[in-house]
Amino acid sequence: MSEGTITIKKQELWKYSTFLLLIIFVIEAFVIFGNKTDTVVVNNPTPTVPTTGPTEPSQVRASVDDDPVLGDKNAKVTIIEFSDYQCPFCERFYSETLPQIKKEYIDTGKVKLVYRDFPLDSIHPMATPAALAAECVREKGKDAAYFKMHDKIFENQQQLSESNLKSWAKELGYNIDDCLDSKKFMSEVRKDLSDAQASGGRGTPYFVILGSNEDGTPVSGAQPFPVFKQIIDSKLS
């Protein structure tokens, strides 16, 4: 044997080959399985991607609490909307579906909408400040003022900032600077979020549509108007 040469016995060669193959297998497994997307959990929900219809066939319970009401408070059907002011799908519902629901059902006294907060702070840092600002406006101007601020926020969603929230409130005639700075309504917003999750909400927007009984039909995502129409009509009949 020449100097500097390493000799491996044939009977040991298979051991090294097997060991090498095992290492390659482990590395490939790590690459394949390590690229899988993490599961979304309830404490860190993401915006719900709209589908073609309601994703939950079961009935759930949800409370209107003491939150702002759009429409006749004695309407037969109630839509509870758990929403996030910075969520793009929530803005889509506001701009595309809500106008149709308002025209056909809310303005005619058949349905009322109750807006409750479901801020996803981990991905939408301005969702809670916006919710607080709207509550501050409501304190001064009641539900009518709340929904004016609600509209202002969604229509300017890309410009959300605390200074803009204060400015928009002033445009509506309300100074909310101290209220917003003190986070006066944080407990109210957190209660809404907790109730949303307790009623089955895992992403935004999330709706519970109530008829005359205590159970409601859940709807996830920025669904098109026909999805809401079918459920509402069934509860009005």
pLDDT one digit per residue (tens) for the chain, 237 residues: 444 433 444 445 445 555 555 544 444 443 333 333 222 223 334 444 443 344 454 789 999 999 999 999 999 999 999 999 999 999 999 999 999 999 999 999 999 999 999 999 999 999 999 999 999 999 999 999 999 999 999 999 999 999 999 999 999 999 999 999 999 999 999 999 999 999 999 999 999 999 988 789 999 999 999 999 999 999 999
133, 85 contact by CB (below 8 A): no
Q: What does the alpha-carbon distance between residue 116 and residue 141 come to, in Å, rounded to a whole number?
A: 17
CB of 133 closer than 8 Å to CB of 165? yes
Domains assigned to the chain: 69-236 (3.40.30.10)
- Predicted TM-score of the model (pTM): 0.77
Kindly state the tokens that stand for 180. Answer: 């917003």
